[in-house]
């Protein structure tokens, strides 16, 4: 896909790997463009039923490449708004909007926008030695790429604010305690655990799982009566799928279901 983004599809699982280990997988413009392309490809390809995002080496990603930022123009400036709107914001929207589960396998440090990308995923598995760092304050910036939205919802305003304002670090054990990740595993078991979970999701009722994601994401900002109505609307769609018919038939025939993802 590009030198620093690897994209591979195997048995219904698309794995997107940030692959610039000498710079802790810090994002450059070509990487962000390749990430956007990989996410679009995974959304478009019906053979892909689950995604895994991970990094090579000792980092998930250290966020924006800061050398790239300072080298932008003669005054050392960067058009932050335009940059965010055309790169990270699109990637975050793609992760949230793709109607397939997205797993972050946080193999190592995830800092700044690297942490934001992990927080945007549906499920996070974290290596014991990994860290989440709200690095933005350390370079005089506000949390971006969705962190101001995700963090307070996941850990409450007060702790989220303290973390962001101090540029604080969260260990894997703390992340688990705070509900930021669903599971912590030894580093050498992380890739296997992520692929095992991804394989399970990729053989599930993909359409219903995608609609579940859509409904739950929407429910984060809507009223109960609205959520109830939306569930009913989506159930009408799920109820018309081959996977629903297969699930019911498998139950009645006392055998495992074989979901085709539609």
Which residues bind to ligand LHQ, rule: CB under 6 A? Answer: 23-24, 26, 62-67, 69, 78, 80, 83-84, 88, 109, 111-113, 133, 135-136, 138-139, 141, 144
Residue placing its CB nearer to ligand LHQ in the complex, 98 or 117: 117
Residue placing its CB nearer to ligand LHQ in the complex, 7 or 136: 136
CB 119 within 8 A of CB 152: no
Task: Determine which helix (DSSP H) or strand (DSSP E) holds 217, and give its type and residue range.
Answer: helix 206-219
CB 164 within 8 A of CB 147: yes
Residue placing its CB nearer to ligand LHQ in the complex, 21 or 152: 21
Residue placing its CB nearer to ligand LHQ in the complex, 16 or 201: 16
Least distance from ligand LHQ to the Cβ atom of residue 176, Å: 20
Least distance from ligand LHQ to the Cβ atom of residue 63, Å: 3
Residue placing its CB nearer to ligand LHQ in the complex, 116 or 195: 116
Least distance from ligand LHQ to the Cβ atom of residue 51, Å: 21
Structure tokens at 9: 């599809």
Least distance from ligand LHQ to the Cβ atom of residue 97, Å: 20
Least distance from ligand LHQ to the Cβ atom of residue 88, Å: 6
Residues 6+ apart with CB under 8 A from 113: 27, 61, 63, 64, 88, 144, 145
Least distance from ligand LHQ to the Cβ atom of residue 204, Å: 33
* Sheet of strand 59-61: strand arrangement: 59-61, 109-111, 131-133, 169-171
For 226-236, give one letter per residue: b (16+ CB within 10 A) or e. Answer: ebeebbeebee
Residue placing its CB nearer to ligand LHQ in the complex, 149 or 230: 149
Least distance from ligand LHQ to the Cβ atom of residue 162, Å: 18
Residue placing its CB nearer to ligand LHQ in the complex, 55 or 112: 112
Residues 6+ apart with CB under 8 A from 241: 205, 207, 208, 262
Phi and psi at residue 123, to the nearest 5°: -140, 140
């Amino acid at each position: 896909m590009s030198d620093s983004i690897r994209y591979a599809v195997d048995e219904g699982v698309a794995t997107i790997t940030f692959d610039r280990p000498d710079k802790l997988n810090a994002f450059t413009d070509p990487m962000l463009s390749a990430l956007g392309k990989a996410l679009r490809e995974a959304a478009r390809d019906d053979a892909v039923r689950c995604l895994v995002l991970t990094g090579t080496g000792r980092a998930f990603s250290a966020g924006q490449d800061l050398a790239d930022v300072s080298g932008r123009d003669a005054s050392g400036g960067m058009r932050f708004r335009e940059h965010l709107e055309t790169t990270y914001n699109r990637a975050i929207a793609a992760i949230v909007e793709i109607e397939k589960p997205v797993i972050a396998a946080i193999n190592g440090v995830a800092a700044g926008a690297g942490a934001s990308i992990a927080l945007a995923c549906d499920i996070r598995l974290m290596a014991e030695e990994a860290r989440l760092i709200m690095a933005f304050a350390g370079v005089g910036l506000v949390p971006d790429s969705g962190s101001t939205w995700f963090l307070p919802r996941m850990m409450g305003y007060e702790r989220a604010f303290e973390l962001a304002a101090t540029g604080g670090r969260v260990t894997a054990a703390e992340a688990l305690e705070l509900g930021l990740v669903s599971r912590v595993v030894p580093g050498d078991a992380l890739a296997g655990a992520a692929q095992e979970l991804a394989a399970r999701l990729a053989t599930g009722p993909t359409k219903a799982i995608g609609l579940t994601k859509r409904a739950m994401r929407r429910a984060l900002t809507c009223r109960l009566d609205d959520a109830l109505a939306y569930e009913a609307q989506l159930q009408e769609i799920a109820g018309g799928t081959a996977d629903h018919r297969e699930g019911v038939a498998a139950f009645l025939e006392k055998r495992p279901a074989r979901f085709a993802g539609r």
